[in-house]
Amino acid sequence: MYINEVIRRVREYYPSEYSECELYTWCNEVSAMLAAEDRTVYHELHPPAAPDGTILLPEGVRMEQVTHIYIGRRELPRRLCALPPGIMPQGELTVIYEEPYRPIRMPRYQGMAEADGDRLYIHDCEFVSGDMLIITCGGIKTRGIPLLAVEYDPDDIRGYILTVEDGTLPELSGAASVIIEREVTDKTVCDAPYDVMYIDYLLAKIAQYQRDTAAYNTNMAAFDMSLNEYKRWLTAHMPHEKHKLKNYW
């Protein structure tokens, strides 16, 4: 289920004063828990080692998320933050790590912008290639604008240049005041029918902050039931292989 579908259904079931940003934050809580405890994703990295033996990990990856370090077929102790002194890789260096959960990105730009064909010039940018943009100008909101590239030109008065799909930019006569947002296209970590746990969790959080204890307990019980059913489904569908020791005495 798309996260926006979760929020739409929550608003239909129980209209509240909470903003989309707050609802996205609560969705992040569920996704982060599932990603850390039940749906861990492992990545393999082949980084270069610095002369002092330091290994550079990807941004956001901490040492406790590293599960294995190999030089060729030799495994090094995971507690090492760098290669031992005097030991430089004599084979390919491999790092296996748990991919950290990446929260829903909600960048927003509000200020002056200028359009030129398929390029948009702005002062500040937290958008990345692949984002779908929503541009509001003069009270008119244009959705579904694919962002193809982001460049920075220090010689340009505005600095950042967004290249979008040709013909998708709204009409801007010279410099204009705009609001640019990223259209959230993220999905729930779990699939149907267990993705309803997001709806139950958001309804429980709303009830919690409104001090509605009965509604909170009801929705949290539904959330816990969906979560437990999902964990049982994962356990039943995880690969189970028999292992035996050979040449052991």
**Tens digits of residue pLDDT in 211-243:** 999 999 999 999 999 999 999 998 887 765 555
Let me know how long the chain is: 249
Rounded mean pLDDT of 163-178?
84
107 contacts 99 by C-beta, under 8 angstroms: no
Q: How far apart are CA 145 and CA 131, in angstroms?
A: 8
Per-residue pLDDT band at 174 (split at 50, 70, 90)? confident
Q: Which residues contact 65 (CB under 8 A, 6 or more apart)?
A: 97, 98, 100
Token pair for 52 = 């002092």
pLDDT tens digit sequence for 121-160: 999 999 999 999 999 988 889 999 999 999 998 887 788 9
Closest by CA to 49, choosing from 15, 72, 20, 19, is: 72
Rounded mean pLDDT of 63-73?
82
Least-confidence region, from 94-108, 190-204, 232-246: 232-246
